[in-house]
């Protein structure tokens, strides 16, 4: 029976989820959700305190495909999802970043939001992301970004949903009112990016994975002793 997975989107760079190039994808972070969600399920990202969007729907997607990292990496259909770190903001936050060498079973991580500032693999993020070899894809989605829509409090109360760590799973029948609200409020937003992600102005940033820090490369004129600027106080 189809279900709905609700969770808090704490960081919204356009990376996880990635709503660009015709597909909304969840290919990194939330490994358990990616493992258990099935085709036909809904994944709903709700805003939290950091984004000052508590109770607002940042995105919702109905899972249309569930594939492995190697399928995602090797399929030319998803080529534009591969990150280009000197490209446009939408290319910098590409989430098609992993493949596994079939002969050695070694995971490879592309230069991306989840790698180190110098482009080398960040093994903390790599271990977390690849602990579930699943990518969720959708061509039936609503992405609101900075224009996240308010979810009526009565709907959240009836579901018994409160923001917290991890995710909550609900029978889809219990979410009928939410989905109807989504179709009404998002009728002009179907399969579109309605607004930039909350953190899109930091699309060049990297996520540390350790200490939940967002890292920015230092200016070229900075001293060798200061290789990066750290935005502290960013929750994971």
pLDDT digits (tens, 9 = 90+) for 18-36: 999 999 999 999 999 999 9
Contact 232, 224 (CB under 8 A): no
pLDDT for res 212:
77
> Nearest-CA neighbor of 107 among 79, 133, 143, 142?
133
> Cis peptide leading into 17, omega within 30 of 0?
yes
Q: How far apart are CA 148 and CA 67, in angstroms?
A: 28
Q: How far apart are CA 181 and CA 155, in angstroms?
A: 9
Which residues 6+ apart lie within 8 Å of 203 measured at CB?
A: 13, 14, 89, 92, 93
Q: Token match 């190697």: residue?
A: 70
Q: How far apart are CA 12 and CA 24, in angstroms?
A: 13
Q: How many CA atoms lie within 13 A of 67 on its CB side?
A: 17
Low-confidence ranges of the chain (pLDDT < 70): 218-236
pLDDT for res 170:
97
Contact 137, 81 (CB under 8 A): no
Q: How far apart are CA 89 and CA 91, in angstroms?
A: 5
Task: Name the token pair of 205.
Answer: 């940033």
pLDDT for res 42:
98
pLDDT for res 211:
80
Contact 112, 33 (CB under 8 A): no
pLDDT for res 164:
87
Q: How far apart are CA 198 and CA 8, in angstroms?
A: 14
pLDDT for res 210:
83
> For the chain, what is the total number of helices (H) and then of strands (E)?
6, 14
pTM of the model: 0.91
Task: Name the token pair of 228.
Answer: 């990066």
pLDDT for res 74:
98
């Amino acid at each position: 029976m189809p279900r709905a997975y609700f969770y808090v989107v704490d960081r919204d760079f356009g990376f996880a989820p990635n709503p660009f190039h015709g597909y909304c994808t969840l290919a990194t972070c939330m490994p358990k959700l990616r493992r258990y969600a099935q085709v036909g399920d809904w994944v709903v990202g709700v805003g939290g305190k950091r984004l000052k969007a508590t109770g607002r729907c940042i995105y919702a997607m109905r899972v249309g495909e569930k594939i492995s990292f190697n399928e995602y990496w090797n399929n030319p259909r998803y080529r534009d999802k591969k990150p280009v770190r000197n490209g446009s903001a939408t290319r910098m936050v590409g989430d098609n970043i992993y493949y596994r060498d079939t002969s050695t079973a070694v995971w490879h991580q592309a230069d991306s939001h989840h790698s180190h500032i110098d482009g080398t693999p960040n093994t903390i993020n790599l271990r977390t992301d690849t602990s579930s070899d699943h990518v969720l894809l959708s061509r039936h989605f609503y992405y609101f970004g900075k224009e996240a829509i308010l979810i009526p409090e009565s709907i959240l109360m009836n579901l018994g949903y409160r923001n917290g760590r991890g995710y909550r799973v609900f029978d889809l029948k219990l979410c009928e009112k939410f989905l109807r609200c989504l179709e009404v409020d998002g009728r002009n937003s179907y399969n579109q990016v309605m607004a930039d992600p909350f953190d899109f102005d930091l699309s060049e940033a990297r996520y540390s994975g350790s200490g939940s820090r967002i890292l920015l490369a230092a200016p070229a004129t900075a001293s060798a002793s200061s290789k990066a600027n750290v935005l502290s106080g960013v929750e994971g």
